Amino acid sequence: MGEFEIIASIRSLLGDPPGDVVIGPGDDCAVVRCGSSLLLLTDDAMVEDVHFTRALLDPRALGRRAASVAVSDIAAMGGTPRWLLASVGAPPGAGDALVELAAGLAERCAELGATLVGGNLTRSEALMISLSAAGTVDGEPLLRSTARPGDLVALTGPVGGAALGLELLMAGGGRDGAAASLARMWRDPPARVEAGQALLGIARAAIDVSDGLLQDLGHVMQASDVGARIELGNLPLPSGYDDLAPADEPLAPALAGGEDYELLVAIPRDRVENASCDLTVCGAFTEPDAGLVLVHEDGTEEKADPRGWDHFGGS
């Protein structure tokens, strides 16, 4: 089974959630009611030689990156990150690396206005970190399941830079110029907390782009029962992307690479001008039977299946 089939099987075992669970598995965060407040809860893990290698990401940078990735799910719901718990595993003799990792984690938490409140250390064969993050939301959170036909597809920033930067790093490049700028997009991704908060009450649905633009768009399509058209010529691409993208499939990193952590939102056409954050409109949601259509710059259309990274089935 692939990753998402495994998740579906696990969800089928859980049964109906209790009344204080507003949103269970299947969105960016779980949403639970605590008194009169809503809490956003999420968890994310990074494992050496699966998500990173120390040749490309030192422990301090790993701490920063892990915090951003965990908090990105809260940003996608329009929430405010508040507290993080970290479980870290490391081989014997990794004390200095653990201190550096904690320093990077604390540094990024401070930038995001969140607090590391505890965690656990354990021995493991490879360096790994699992972060549980909790946040609050002012009003109704943004969900994956509330897009409607006619809503525009918009992004808070460029896509493809992280995947292309990682590819360059793995090939021995990414050390200077535009390549280094792309590599930083993978090493130190954004957490669009302010953008998510600005889109509350304006956007209709949202998700962060972690698995790849098409796959994450597919999650929204499935949850909301809609189709989508994407204008490839309107995709926001980072500076230097065109010169460094693979010649055979130049848009592959942007469409399927993932790990950009920008927000993809469904927003009614008449609300775009009300958004107080950067947005690039690159398509529209359609009726569900239309499926996913990619519109090339020359006007030709291509039916597509959402694709991206699957931890248990490959890309």
Per-residue pLDDT of the chain (315 residues; tens, 9 = 90+): 666 677 677 777 776 777 788 988 878 899 999 888 899 999 999 999 988 898 999 999 999 999 999 999 999 999 999 999 999 999 999 899 999 999 999 999 999 999 999 999 999 999 999 999 999 999 999 999 999 999 999 999 999 999 999 999 999 987 889 999 999 999 999 999 999 999 999 999 999 999 999 999 999 999 999 999 999 999 999 999 999 999 999 999 999 999 999 999 999 999 999 999 999 999 999 999 999 999 999 999 999 987 544 444 444
Enumerate domains of the chain plus CATH numbers: 3-136 (3.30.1330.10), 152-304 (3.90.650.10)
CA–CA separation, 113 vs 121, rounded Å? 24
* Whether 15 contacts 24, CB under 8 Å: no
As given in the structure block, the two tokens for residue 11 are 């969800």
pLDDT score of 308 = 47
* Residue 28 to residues 38, 58, 100, 104, Cα–Cα distance (Å): 15, 27, 29, 24
* Whether 202 contacts 263, CB under 8 Å: no
CA–CA separation, 195 vs 104, rounded Å? 23
pLDDT score of 277 = 97
pLDDT score of 2 = 67
One-letter amino acid for residue 276 of the chain: S
Burial 18-49 (b: 16+ CB within 10 A, else e): eeeebbeeebbbbbbeeeeebbbbbebbbebe
CA angle 155, 151, 192 (to 5 degrees): 25
pLDDT score of 3 = 65
pLDDT score of 249 = 93
Sequence-ordered list of residues with C-beta below 8 angstroms from that of 293, at least 6 positions apart, any chain: 227, 228, 229, 230, 286, 301, 302, 303, 304
Say how many C-beta atoms besides its own lie within 10 A of residue 125's C-beta: 10
Coil, strand or helix at 250 = coil
CA–CA separation, 249 vs 82, rounded Å? 40
* Whether 166 contacts 259, CB under 8 Å: yes
